[in-house]
Structure 1
Amino acid sequence: MEDVEMDGEAWLEHQYLYTYRIADRVQELAENHTAHLGDLESLTADFGIAEFIRPWQPDSALHKFIRYAADDLMESDNTGTVKMPFWDRSRNLRWTVPIELALTSYGLQDDIRFTLANIPQIYETIGNTTYARDAPEVGDACFGHFQSVRLTQPYMDFLRQVSEEVFFVMFTNRGTLQKLHEYLAYYVTENDYAYVLAEHPALAGFYTKSGRLQRRNPPKWARRAVFFRDRGMCTACRRDISGLLDPLGAENYDHIVPLAVGGLNDVTNLQLLCRTCNNKKSDRREAPSKSYRRWY
């Protein structure tokens, strides 16, 4: 695979708007995927794994999961149940839905375009207490607005930006990355080579005859990312290999979920190992190290 020039994308302006809520949702989906198969169905059903097969996509498997989780959260937040206050240009306090504030916060639109100026209320008295709740048409209007926004380029740009921000936070979590790739490995191995060749011939060249993905050496940008994430140290034995070997030599980059059991050629499926630990692990499933070197 031809390497990708990444220097132009070296800096990320991080808003931290939904970062940790989305990260929590991704972790929940990855680590408890058997409990969320229905939620994840649209991501992998009908050979949806095809989106993950091409090797070494800068838009990694984790990016795709993040966008999926972010869209799911936005759908649940924009049904009228969550209302966000803001000051209009006349300094009047008004209310809107979360997606409107998100798009303006990221500079993807100039102003709030949907407001809940007069929220119809339904009052219900139980005993001596009167409760107010929104009329049904409020939720319908909010969700209808979200569905229209969902089809626009600014919303796509919002999901892309959010995926970069959450990736920045989650890329260091090798345990969650392993769980994510174990889930995807099931769909890699679900169909044999004959099925892929017959139904998805454009992808057959990425497979071996055994129905697993071919080994493709990671490109320089992926090796650099993992090398700096793991700080030039073997994640298994903690040996500093930064000055002992070629820091970007492909032989030091181990697939966390091995290709032999359905692992992907994906930057989020890599960890840095010394040659001894890499040879020892071979094609076995092993939990990645939970040890991380302190920043100071």
Structure 2
Amino acid sequence: MTSFEQATEPFRRELLAHCYRMLGSRHEAEDVVQETYLRAWRSFDGFEGRSSVRVWLYRIATNACLNALRGRRRRELPSTLDATAADVEWLEPLPDALVTPESDDPAAVVTSRHDLRLALIAGLQHLPPRQRAVLILREVLAIPATEVARMLDTTVASVKSALQRARATLDEVAPTADDLVEPTSPRARALLSEYIAGFENSDLSALERALRADASLEVAGSSTWFAGRATCLTFLATVIGTPGDWRMHPTTANDHPATYTYHQGKPWGMAVLTTTTTGIARLTVFPDPTLVPPPGPGRGG
């Protein structure tokens, strides 16, 4: 392993999480991380150590994300979509396995995922890119304001102002639920099992038991979404098919229980479940076969 690899590889997973928070797309985040490492490799001989390697990489990655976001619309979920919007770019999920630290410390693993929950990622998309960067660098990564100012070629006063505005906006568009349960908890596992059983056995009653009365369901790629258990079940009845049509592999994504989903034997996409103490509060479905990894140990979940 080269000195460059030794110095930079430990940060690859957290940089992917960072770029995903900025961009709302797993695929774009992976591309920007590759670009970050290429830029870092090209300039590594000139790295003078004025900051840590980690902060240096975050500076490169953040500015690469800002370049990627120039002139771009925010990524959407159906529930955040302006009805007049055209040429929509949709939010994508991120499997936890891609960004979970290679650590034996459960607290480190949990902390690394909390800032990837779908409601937060969707809320971040409402912020102008530089405000988004400041909020993530300061609030998620706890990088000092003076360092953030250097990373973004601005002043500390501008960083503090941007952070204040970003917090205010995020409080409006991404309120935090206080009854979420960890995806590895017995309650979340039970709800995921009931959801999977409902689809695989074409059992609407299992889905009814799993959903909260105020549950919502949205399918990325569609401008329509559904609110309330009865309305969700009416829609689910039209797609549930017959036993065996659907097969699901349990996983976790965005710090939520999730499934890799197959329809009639073919990769179909992912479903991400927002689970609470009282049931599934939200089903967010992503019908994109490229999100389903190949069979085998490298399936990412």
Give the TM-score of the pair, scaled to structure 2: 0.25
Bigger radius of gyration, 1 or 2?
Answer: 1
User: Relative contact order (alpha carbons < 8 A, sep ≥ 6): 1 or 2 greater?
Assistant: 1
TM-score of the two chains, using structure 1 as the length reference: 0.26
